[in-house]
Structure 1
Amino acid sequence: MAEVMMRLGEFSFSIDTAAYQQLMRVTRYRWSRQSRVGTHDALQFTGYGGDQITLTGKIYPGWRGGAGQIREMRAQAAQGKPMMLVDGNGYIHGRWAVESVEEQADIFAPAGVPRRQQFTLQMEFFDDGPQVSDT
């Protein structure tokens, strides 16, 4: 089996199974605006906004991994729990909540089995808040 590209909870993305072709991350920052007479507005940094990751990829069910991989993504997301996101280099990105799973299927075999599936997985960073020590 090929090396894992990324792991979200129990689900692994890899070249042999659900491989993502694009990873897009958007991090937002909040700035409060105060109007001033005769000059530009003053800005004050007020904290972090949302942090989103969108993965888009393709699955070839006849190759490896089978046609149930998107169903697996949905089942994990439906548990309603944030999941740990770890990339293939071992970097821990923290916990993420899946907001949506989209799929598109084409090139069908007999009985309507797709030969190619495309997916888009959108998730939002789940901030656990400040970590407080018991000691």
Structure 2
Amino acid sequence: MSDPMMQLGAFQFSISTAAYQELTRGAEYRWSSQERIGANDALQFTGLPSETLELRGVIYPHYKGGLDQVTRMRAQASLGVPLPLLSSGGRVMGAWVIEGVREGQRIFERGGAPLRQEFDLRLRRYDGGLRSLLPI
């Protein structure tokens, strides 16, 4: 098996299985404005909203990894818990939640099994703190 590109919870992205071709990371910075008479608006930094990450990729299920890879992504999302995200170098990128999984299928073999699957995975950084992970 090739080296992983990234790992989200128990799911591993790698060149030989579910490889993403595109990674988009976004962050916004909130500034609130207050109108002033005879002067420019006053701006105040009010914090950081959640960071986002989008992965787009292709799976060739008959090559390696099998047909259940997108199903495993959906299973992780349905757990309803934040998942650790690790980069290929093992750097912990924090806890993230899966907001959406989209799948496309192309090129089918006899019986309807896809020979090519595309996926889009939408993630948002989780910053609820450790206390929110504990059952009350």
Q: TM-score w.r.t. structure 1 length?
A: 0.93
Aligned mates of 2:130, 2:98 — CA distance in 1: 22
Q: Which residue of 1 aligns with 2:68?
A: 68
CA contact (8 A) 2:50 2:126 kept: no
Partner deviation per Cα, 1:75-98 (whole Å, 9 max, x = no partner): 111010110000111111000000
Structure 1 residue 53 corresponds to structure 2 residue 57 = no
- Cα deviation for residue 9 of structure 1 reads 0.1
Q: Which residue of 2 aligns with 1:42?
A: 42
Aligned mates of 2:35, 2:121 — CA distance in 1: 39
SS at match of 1:28: coil
- Structure-to-structure mapping, 1:23-38, within 5 angstroms: 23-38=23-38
Q: Which residue of 2 aligns with 1:108?
A: 108
Aligned mates of 2:116, 2:82 — CA distance in 1: 28
Aligned mates of 2:11, 2:130 — CA distance in 1: 27
Q: Which amino acid aligns with 2:119?
A: F
- Cα deviation for residue 38 of structure 1 reads 3.2
Q: Which residue of 1 aligns with 2:91?
A: 91
- Structure-to-structure mapping, 1:114-125, within 5 angstroms: 114-125=114-125
SS at match of 2:94: strand
CA contact (8 A) 2:99 2:122 kept: yes
Q: Which residue of 2 aligns with 1:7?
A: 7
How many residue pairs were aligned? 131
Question: Which ranges of structure 2 fall in alignment gaps of 5 or more residues?
Answer: 132-136
Q: TM-score w.r.t. structure 2 length?
A: 0.92
Question: Which ranges of structure 1 fall in alignment gaps of 5 or more residues?
Answer: none
SS at match of 2:50: strand
Aligned mates of 2:91, 2:19 — CA distance in 1: 18
- Cα deviation for residue 130 of structure 1 reads 8.3
- Cα deviation for residue 41 of structure 1 reads 1.4
Seq. identity, %: 47
SS at match of 1:111: coil
Aligned mates of 1:130, 1:58 — CA distance in 2: 34
Superposed CA RMSD? 1.3
SS at match of 2:48: strand
